[in-house]
């Protein structure tokens, strides 16, 4: 049995291929675009104030570009340990805190990296390269988003083709227990990416809907304020009209008194009374003019109210369109999830069949090995 186990192990090693040969390391796809040397520090996760040295001496800090994934990374290795492995995003900022020291925050790693350079020129070069790579990452992300939106539109236009592709039988290799279902994994990755893109579109639609809701709420608030102001203005107009009629009656009465006094031809006190009545009449005319101006202003506000009401109707129409679009996206996501569930069930079934075939193959190999040992014994005898 020991000889059969050893023969089986040697046979297995010859026939099977190591999995790492099928998948080259991702560093082989990346190209360095800039390198410098610096002392690396990380912020103390407890105090968030003190710096902890990540390297005992100056190490190489490099910018790498992955053409396949279209991403930029900052990588620094000390011995066999990766000191810095940071994917650059457009939101990152490199800050110079002194003449030879700079830092930036990595939210994914939940840490802050600090670099101490030997000269101020090296710090300046690294800062300029950081800005350049950050702008390139921003452009790459925008292009990737545009491409994803275009792919999503094409995929949504032909969901049946996507379903047929995802349900196609995966290719497999029965060389050993470490072999994978490559096409099944590719289908899962494609479907997951499609699902993420649709969810992203749905979230963008939700954000637009929230913005429209906020705009509608603002318009409704302004509308209610304008309605209240209009009602108040109408009430004031009625009151001012009554006051105006009263002032006109008072003016006519005063004029009659003035005319009566002039008819009597009296002097002294009647002249003084006439001056007072004239002054009161001027004040009433000025007040009447001011009230007329306020009436014109309120009429202009009424026109603005009608315009705001029209804008509110437009906002309500946009919100209804966004709700219909969100409903359509939710329906497509449900279909995609159903396709994903069917694909996963198909993959599980294929995994079970492959495992059964491997077990049968192991038994056959073991039986052949026993037969070989028996033949060897017969030949020896």
Give the residue from 354, 297, 350 showing the smallest Cα distance to 176: 354
Specify the pLDDT at position 12.
40
CA distance 215 to 276: 56
Through-space distance between the first and last CA atoms of the chain, rounded to whole angstroms: 19
CA distance 25 to 20: 8
Please report, in tens digits, the pLDDT of each residue of the chain (381 residues total).
Answer: 444 444 434 444 443 333 333 334 444 467 889 999 999 999 998 888 889 998 888 999 999 998 888 889 999 988 788 899 999 999 899 999 999 999 999 988 889 999 999 999 999 999 999 999 999 988 888 887 777 666 655 555 444 443 444 444 444 343 444 444 444 455 556 666 766 776 666 566 555 555 565 666 667 677 777 788 888 878 888 888 888 888 888 888 888 877 777 776 554 455 666 777 788 888 888 888 888 888 888 877 777 777 888 888 888 888 888 889 888 998 999 998 999 989 999 999 999 999 999 999 999 999 999 899 999 988 887
As a whole number of Å, the CA-based R_g of the chain is 42
CA distance 222 to 209: 20
Specify the pLDDT at position 14.
40
Give the residue from 61, 107, 102 showing the smallest Cα distance to 87: 107
For residue 36, what is the enclosing H or E element? Answer: strand 30-43
Domain boundaries, the chain: 32-146
Specify the pLDDT at position 152.
59
Contact in structure between 95 and 113 (CB atoms under 8 Å): no
Specify the pLDDT at position 256.
82
Beta-bridge mates of residue 60: 37
Question: Hey, what CATH topology would domain 32-146 get?
Answer: PH-domain like (2.30.29)
CA distance 370 to 236: 110
Give the residue from 61, 200, 30, 63 showing the smallest Cα distance to 136: 63
Contact in structure between 176 and 128 (CB atoms under 8 Å): no
Contact in structure between 51 and 42 (CB atoms under 8 Å): yes
Contact in structure between 74 and 61 (CB atoms under 8 Å): yes
Specify the pLDDT at position 153.
52
- 292 Cβ contact partners less than 8 Å away, ≥ 6 residues apart: none
CA distance 288 to 243: 9
Tally of CB atoms within 10 A around 136: 17
């Amino acid at each position: 049995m020991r000889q059969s186990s050893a023969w089986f192990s040697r046979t297995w090693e010859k026939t099977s291929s190591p999995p790492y040969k099928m998948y080259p390391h991702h560093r082989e796809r990346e190209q360095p675009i800039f390198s410098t040397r610096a002392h690396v520090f990380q912020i103390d996760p407890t105090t968030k104030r003190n710096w902890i040295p990540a390297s005992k001496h100056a190490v190489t800090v490099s910018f790498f570009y992955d053409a396949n994934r279209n991403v930029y990374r900052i990588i620094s290795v000390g011995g066999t340990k990766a000191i810095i492995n940071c994917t650059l995003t457009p939101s990152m900022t490199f800050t110079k805190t002194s003449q030879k020291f700079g830092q930036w925050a990595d939210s994914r790693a939940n840490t802050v990296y600090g670099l101490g350079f030997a000269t101020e020129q090296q710090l300046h070069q690294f800062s300029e390269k950081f800005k350049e790579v950050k702008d390139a990452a921003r452009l790459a992300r925008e292009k990737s988003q545009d491409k994803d939106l275009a792919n999503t539109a094409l995929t949504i236009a032909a969901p049946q083709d996507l379903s047929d592709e995802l349900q196609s039988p995966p290719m497999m290799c029965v060389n050993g227990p470490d072999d994978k279902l490559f096409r099944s994994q590719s289908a899962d990755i494609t479907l997951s990416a499609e699902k993420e893109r649709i969810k992203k579109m749905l979230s963008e639609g939700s954000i637009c809907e929230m913005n429209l809701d906020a705009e509608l709420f603002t318009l409704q608030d302004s509308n209610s304020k304008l309605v209240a102001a209009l009602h108040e203005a109408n009430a004031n107009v009625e009151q001012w009209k009554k006051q105006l009629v009263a002032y006109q009656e008072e003016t006519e009465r005063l004029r009659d008194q003035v005319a009566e006094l002039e008819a009597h031809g009296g002097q002294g006190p009647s002249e003084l009374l006439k001056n007072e009545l004239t002054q009161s009449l001027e004040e009433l005319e000025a007040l009447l003019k001011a009230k007329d101006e306020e009436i014109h202003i309120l009429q202009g506000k009424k026109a603005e109210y009608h315009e705001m009401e029209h804008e509110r109707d437009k906002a309500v129409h946009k919100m209804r369109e966004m709700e219909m679009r969100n409903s359509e996206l939710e329906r497509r996501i449900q279909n995609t999830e159903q396709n994903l569930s069917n694909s996963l069930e198909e993959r599980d079934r294929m995994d079970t069949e492959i495992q059964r075939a491997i077990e049968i193959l192991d038994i056959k190999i073991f039986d052949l090995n026993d037969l070989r040992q028996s033949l060897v014994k017969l030949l020896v005898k």
